[in-house]
Copies of this chain bind each other. A is one copy, B any other.
Amino acid sequence: MGVEEQQSEEIDPLSDPEERCVLYGALDSFRQYRHAAHYNVTHLRRRAFYSLPSAHMELLSEPPFALPATFDAVDEAIDSNADLADAILASGLPSFGIDANDTSWYGHATPNDMEKARSTLRQFFRDWSAEGLRERNSSFLPIISALEHHLPNLPPERRYQCRILVPGAGLGRLVFDLCAIGYVVEGNEISYHQLLASNYILNCTNAAGQHKLFPWAISFSNHLSRADQLQSIAVPDVHPGNELEADQHCVNSGVHYSDRMSMTAGDFCELYRRPNYMNTFDVVVTCFFVDTAPNVINYIETIRHCLKSNGLWINIGPLLWHFESAPTPAEKKSQAHCSHDISTSCHSSSAGIGEPGSFELTNDELISLLERLDFEILEQKQAPSGMTGYVQNPASMLQNVYNPSFWVARKGRQR
């Protein structure tokens, strides 16, 4: 369908050694997913199983336990997941101009990269499955309602007059959903794992349900039944191109969807505080994003910079400050492979997420900070659609759920 992807112009990941290392780590982690999952999930479990006393082993080999059969089923699930990882990789290599015979990127994945590959695959549950609809609704519906409420005189066919930026676009579903109802939407994402996955799902799939993903298969805790662990989902729930084509007719937009949707790659602050983005967007939508900031003032100032006067900022998400759990200096030393493990940011930059200094605010402090930095709070509430998970197995005996902060703020004119 052709989602235009813009690489922030200074960064050519293959020419900058630092950046190349980050990209190679992401690519390699998708390549290694299959082997690593078979090793860590089933091989080690079989070994632990066959170390049991023989009477225990025999008991657990028979129904209703049949653990060896479970290991086989999990291996099949891993292979199905790995087919998606391979497809992401196969679409990613040519998009970065890497030849199929080039293996110089092999072996670059750090343990952190491997974990990101696993969590990126799992995230298709939230973003691109029918089963993830409830989670998406909890976050997306309040955003869409706010757009309609605060931009009341914009019928669907003229929504192309409203240009929206979505920082932290992830796998691209919010960008896609907003485009589908008529807006002009630009997503921004820094993580190569997410960029590779969103590029694949948006541009390279042939049909809805093309992939069978087992989002919970590699975890063995808190399952009521083995069927819960081995639940599969069809990915994507809709074929993005076909869906946008159909929506184009419903919306009857004056602008074709292919001109209403784009993605940029790179550090949000570094990119959107540039002069060419000044007063550009009517709305910035942040969904589970603001807590990725080491210095949230930079995020706020960047949003203010790229918003038009009177532009809206719609936010929903918790405050799980990502840099709080950053490794201590001593831990960093022992873990460092690429230097991106040191900064814990994905991309080096002199003006973005890699800037020195960090702090974590409480929710009420963050609201006050918005007001200090020239935003007028139009709406503020907790959990507009109730408590919500983020890639949460609804059948699990452990539910991690958020009471997210929601606000609509308007950029003032004074600064």
Chain A residues with a Cβ under 8 A of chain B: 40, 44-45, 48-53, 56, 59-60, 64-65, 67, 219-226, 228-229, 291, 294-295, 297, 318-321, 324, 328-329, 334, 356-365, 368-369, 372, 382, 387, 396-405
Task: Identify which of B50, B223, B225, B319 contacts A222 (C-beta below 8 A).
Answer: B319
Of A59, A67, A397, A401, chain B has the most CB atoms within 10 Å of the CB of A397
A100, B45: Cα distance in complex, Å: 46
Considering the chains assembled together, what is the distance between the CA atoms of A225 and B369 in angstroms? 13
Q: Is the CB of A52 within 8 A of B321?
A: no
17 further contact pairs, Cβ within 8 A, besides A220-B321, A363-B397, A399-B399: A40-B328, A49-B357, A52-B295, A52-B356, A56-B297, A59-B372, A64-B368, A221-B321, A221-B360, A222-B320, A222-B402, A223-B362, A224-B382, A225-B364, A397-B404, A397-B405, A399-B402
Residues on the B chain within 8 Å of A56, using CB: 295, 297, 357
- With known contacts A52-B356, A405-B397, A225–B363 Cβ distance under 8 A: yes
Q: Tell me if B223 and A363 are in contact (CB < 8 A).
A: yes
Q: How many Å lie between the Cα of A330 and that of B292 in the bound state?
A: 30
Chain B positions within 8 Å of A328 at CB level: 40, 44
Q: In the complex, which of the residues A60, A221, A291 has the most CB atoms of chain B within 10 Å of its own CB atom?
A: A221
Closest to A390 in B: B398
B residues near A50, Cβ cutoff 8 Å: 357
Q: Which of B59, B229, B400, B402 contacts A297 (CB 8 A)?
A: B59
A334 to B225, CA, bound (A): 35
Instruction: Give the docked Cα–Cα distance between A294 and B44 (Å).
Output: 13
Residues of the B chain whose Cβ atoms lie less than 8 Å from the Cβ of A295: 52, 56
Closest Cβ neighbor of A401 among chain B residues: B399
Bound CA span A399–B291, Å? 17
Q: Are B359 and A52 in contact (CB under 8 A)?
A: yes
Tell me which residues across on chain B come within 8 A of A226, comparing CB atoms: 362, 365
